[in-house]
Structure 1
Amino acid sequence: MHFLWSRTKKSLPNKNLALQTKLIAGLCIATIASTALLPAAQAGSVPAAPAAKPAVTAEGLLDLPALTPVMSCTDLVGFDFSSAAGSPVTITSAAVVTAGVPAPYCEVTGTIAPANTIIVRLPTEGWTQRYVQTGCGGLCGRASINIGQAAGCSIVEDGTVATATTDMGHQGQNDGSWAVNNPQAQIDFAYRGVHVTALTAKALIAKFYGQQPAFSYFTGCSDGGREGLMEAQRFPDDFDGIAAGAPANNMALQNTYHHAWNVLTNEDENGNYILLSGKLPLIHSAVLGACDGLDGLTDGVLDDPRACDFDPASLICATGQDANTCLSAEEAAVVQRLHDGAVDEQGHQLELEISHEWGSELAWTLFVPATQRQTVPSENFALSYLRYLAEPNSPRPDFQLSDLEFTKKAFWDTMESSSYMSALDPDLQDYEESGGKLLLWHGWNDQHISPQSTLAYYDAVRQAMGAKTADSFSKLFLFPGVEHCSGGAGPNTFDVLTPVMAWVESGKTPTVIVASKTVTAEGSTAPITRPVYPYPAVARYDGSGSTSDAFNFVPYTPAKDEGPGYNWVGKKLYSSDYQTWCTANGTQLSCKPQKGRETWLTKLAQRA
């Protein structure tokens, strides 16, 4: 055993004790199993051969032995996994799926009390000892395994990893009315549902294969990104690596002031829309005309929109100009306000200083309607939250956007009442000490969630943990031209999971992610690839070869950050003090600040 420990410890640089122990356990099981096959006379006299050092693949993953189940799929229905979850678990079905999949798997469905529906998929052959849990979007309410921007991961594509997901404790989807008089559903959606799913899925894996996964990962975007950050902040031992995309980590702000402002700032005194979506292409073309070449290439994509100093007033109609080719002064003012974000009457920022980046205008149809009296998605997002979640113990089904007060007091009342929903704690010391790796990513053209929120969180982590420590376990990738989680004018297909796995398993720090997009021109299709480097580096064309080939770009770190800073009313939300833990008392939700831990400011002072 000591020999195995020494060999494995040396073969896993930068790994923590917990991960080393898990891998060693798997190696020992294999050794014990091989010894048990020897005749009795030999078993006691022949020492077991030491486990071979796992090889590392070209992708940086450990080449772990593939395992097969030790029991039948259908027999899983008869087992009780309640002790693992700490709540009653009911396995409702378990059946092998073979049609239309890269490899057969055992699909298990069940419920973790009171109402967390889970789906777990376990390969019936060739399991490579890894577990991947996927996140949910919106307000969830539906259990569906969605790999998203991890689909390019080879071992996910070939079906050799175990996967799982949850509906996060309710079946109401994006209608927040499911939260009425249901505080446990609110807690499960906020943070508990993902955690108990991880515990249950690992118990299923251990039963089915005879051992725990060697490595566990989480990947998700939007609310799935928030879920990943919740795991790192609240349950640091659940996952060895997390890929959190476009995280809705400031949930209380995102679904109140942010989306409400999108709608209200575009209405006149009669409630009519000022700017309609027919003008968005005009605005976008003007933005590109002013800023597309700032990064050295005119390619329809801004590599860092913060460097763009576009003035919508430049589009105001001249006397006699065709109104279809310009903006009214009122329309131009709306465009500026949508870019800048929510403010109170004194001009104090109620959200981060850029709400919608320049270059993302074509995606503003999320909140800019095509016609009058159209209900835009932003209105639905805001009302669903404001009516049922912003005041969790006092639902307001008749609440209208016009009832929201844009004042500092109203802002803080809203933020404090639903603090348990937000994943803003930058003190990730426990996650870092567990050996966890965090890959944050966001599209610059995100029309739902401002990249500024992810930037602010990443900078808060660096401040709280110290830049050197933060860099050792966290990276941020910003994808030019990419909209919310996918789509957009820029190369928008990429794999965020393999870099996290390689970082965890072999210590291969992610230094570049190549994004791709297939475009059609003159009747033929051709791929465009572009490298994306860890923030603050950006990609720059090296001056030779095709600009459609990632190989012809190099990393460049600007001399100064282009950001506007984070001088807004809610900047102190990015702290450990904002996080609360909640309990369900009948129909009431009771939340208290976390106790027994020092604030991140105190920890920072101690480290200084």
Structure 2
Amino acid sequence: MFRTTSWAQVSPFNVDQYALHNFASMSLLDMTVLGKSLTTTFYGSEPRYSYWNGCSTGGRQGFMLAQRYPGSYDGILAAAPGINWDRMLPATVYPQMMMNNLSYYPSACELNAISSAIVAACDGDDGAEDGILSAPWLCNFNYSSIVGTTIAESAYNGPQSSSGEQLGFGPSPGSPLTVATGLAVTTCTGNHNCTGAPNPIGYDWVRLFVDRDPDFTLDSVSTQEQLERLFQASAQQYLSIIGTSDPDLSAFKATGGKIITWHGLMDEIVPSKGTTITTAGLRPWTQMSGHSSSTSRLQAWSTAIWGSIHFQERLFRL
């Protein structure tokens, strides 16, 4: 996505803000206006209804359309949305930072064995032993029951501050860590000689946008203070541009728009918990249902949402 420095930066250490804003939101409006204009020209009348359908980045774009351009679409299907972008991408390279700090790079077979052990231990928590964790919030796997689980545990728990605050979310327990877009990929040769292979999307984000140094390596993030500073820098610079986590969809609701989002619980790169917690804070829902928007109420509703969905089923509907 950000593989070339020439796309991300106009000069060394100078982010191309126009390209970033265009990618984050502006191109969505331009595309919509042009698309409707072409439709009107071709058919001789304006479209009666307009719908958006996107997944992952497309899911984030769906939420961005509802937040920034609420009158653009009548209906939005925003699947597995990459929202909380400013925190999500740095979190994808956290397991690799842990590998570097520990000088330990587990092979794929080790990590796959741990993931399989988690699934085996928690499979029945949802009431059905079918090889699928449909209730990951019930999984309290004892990582100390297996040796060498530090990297996997870090990946699933996600990065935290020194005070225990969640800086970013990890994938659900048991999710694959070693697939191409996984968070704990390593490349190994003979005699267990393995090296880390950071998620390229997250690595490029941290390298070219947050640190702004094309020569940046994850080795430079070796302390808790540096880790927290990295997340803080990403949020300070880019939350308002591409975070896409604004809970106020009242303007979209006022247009009569409808949005549906769902998230596969075994998503290995876009954490489903981020979607759950973000949608739990959507103000229009609390207004429509007559519930208070107090923190305790939202936390209870978040738990109820995550506790009522199943693998790749609908998560939220406005």
When the two structures are superposed, what TM-score results if normalisation uses the length of structure 2? Answer: 0.81
Q: CA deviation at 1:279?
A: 1.6
Matched, 1:186 2:20: yes
**Aligned partners of 1:410, 1:268: CA distance in 2, in Å?**
16
Which structure exhibits the higher relative contact order, with contacts defined as CA atoms closer than 8 Å and separated by 6 or more residues? 2
> Which of these two proteins has the greater Rg computed from alpha carbons?
1
Distance 2:135 2:99 in 1: 26
RMSD: 2.7
Query: 1:412 deviation in Å?
Result: 2.2
CA distance in 2, matches of 1:417, 1:464: 29
Equivalent-residue separation in structure 2 for 1:217 and 1:469 (angstroms) = 28
- Report what 1:267 is aligned to: 100
Q: Indicate the SS of the match to 1:389.
A: helix
Change (3 A) 1:457 1:469: farther
Question: Displacement, 1:358?
Answer: 1.6
The one-letter code matched in structure 1 to 2:52 is: F
Shift of 1:351: 1.6
TM-aligned CA deviation for residue 250 of structure 1: 1.3
Give the Cα separation in 1 of the matches to 2:61 and 2:316. Answer: 22
Does residue 359 (structure 1) correspond to residue 193 (structure 2)? The answer is no
**Is 1:423 aligned with 2:244?**
yes
Q: Secondary structure at the match of 1:219?
A: strand
**Residues 1:298 and 2:154 aligned together:** no
Change (3 A) 1:336 1:375: closer
Counterpart residue number, 2:112: 281
Corresponding residue for residue 255 of structure 2: 434
Q: Distance in 1 between matches of 2:28 and 2:139?
A: 39
Equivalence for 1:332: 149
Deviation of 1:343 after TM superposition, in Å, equals 2.2
The letter of the residue matching 1:339 is Y
Question: Greater strand percent: which structure?
Answer: 1
Separation in 2 of the partners of 1:445 and 1:199? 36
How far does residue 202 in structure 1 lie from its aligned partner after superposition?
Answer: 0.3
Partner letter of residue 264 of structure 2? G
Over 3 Å counting, the alpha-carbon distance change for 1:184 and 1:244 in structure 2 is: same
How far apart in 1 are the matches of 2:179 and 2:136? 15
Aligned CA distance change for structure 1 residues 535 and 209 (closer, same or farther; 3 Å): closer
Question: Aligned partner of 2:154: which letter?
Answer: R
- Residue of 36, 43, 53 corresponding to 1:219: 53
AA matched with 2:119: L
Alignment of structure 1 residues 403-552 onto 2, 5 Å: 403-404=220-221, 406-419=226-239, 420-462=241-283, 465-466=286-287, 468=289, 478-480=309-311, 532=313
Alpha carbons of 1:272 and 1:336: their partners in 2 closer, same or farther (altered >3 Å)? closer
CA distance in 2, matches of 1:338, 1:242: 31
Contact 1:222 1:245 in 2 (8 A): yes
Q: Trace 1:11-30 onto structure 2 (pairs within 5 A).
A: none
Q: In the TM superposition, what is the alpha-carbon distance from 1:284 to its structure 2 partner?
A: 2.9
Rounded to whole Å, the distance in 2 between the matches of 1:412 and 1:463 is: 29
| Equivalent pair of 1:343/1:406 in contact (CA under 8 Å) | no
Partner of 2:218: 401
CA drift at 1:282: 2.1
Q: Which amino acid aligns with 1:221?
A: C
Q: Which residue identity does 2:92 align to in structure 1? A: H
Structure 1 residues 230-282: Cα deviation after superposition (integer angstroms, max 9, x where no partner) = 000000011111111111111111222x022021113354x441x22112332
Distance of 2:290 and 2:19 partners within structure 1: 36
Aligned identity (percent) is: 28
Query: Counterparts of 1:287 and 1:407 in 2: how far apart (Å)?
Result: 27
CA distance in 2, matches of 1:287, 1:178: 40
Bigger fraction of residues in helix: 2
Distance 1:363 1:462 in 2: 37
SS of residue paired to 1:361 = coil
Other-structure match for 1:548:
none
8 Å CA contact retained: 1:429, 1:465:
no
In 1, Cα distance between the equivalents of 2:290 and 2:56? 26
Tell me, yes or no, if the aligned pair for 1:198 and 1:238 is still in contact at 8 Å: yes
1:386 to 169, 188, 206: 206
Read off the aligned partner of 2:99 and give its amino acid letter.
N
- Residue equivalent to 1:71: none
Q: Is the 8 A contact 1:261 1:341 kept in 2?
A: yes
CA distance in 1, matches of 2:5, 2:73: 29
Is the CA contact (8 Å cut-off) linking 1:239 and 1:436 kept in structure 2?
Answer: yes
Q: Does 1:210 find its partner at 2:30?
A: no
Alignment of 1:30-429 (within 5 A): 139=1, 174-175=3-4, 177-181=6-10, 182-256=16-90, 258-269=91-102, 271-273=103-105, 275-315=106-146, 327=147, 331-352=148-169, 355-361=170-176, 366=182, 367-371=184-188, 372-378=193-199, 380-390=200-210, 395-404=212-221, 406-419=226-239, 420-429=241-250
Q: Name structure 2 gaps, 5 residues minimum.
A: 11-15, 292-304
Residue 385 of structure 1: how far off its partner (Å): 0.9
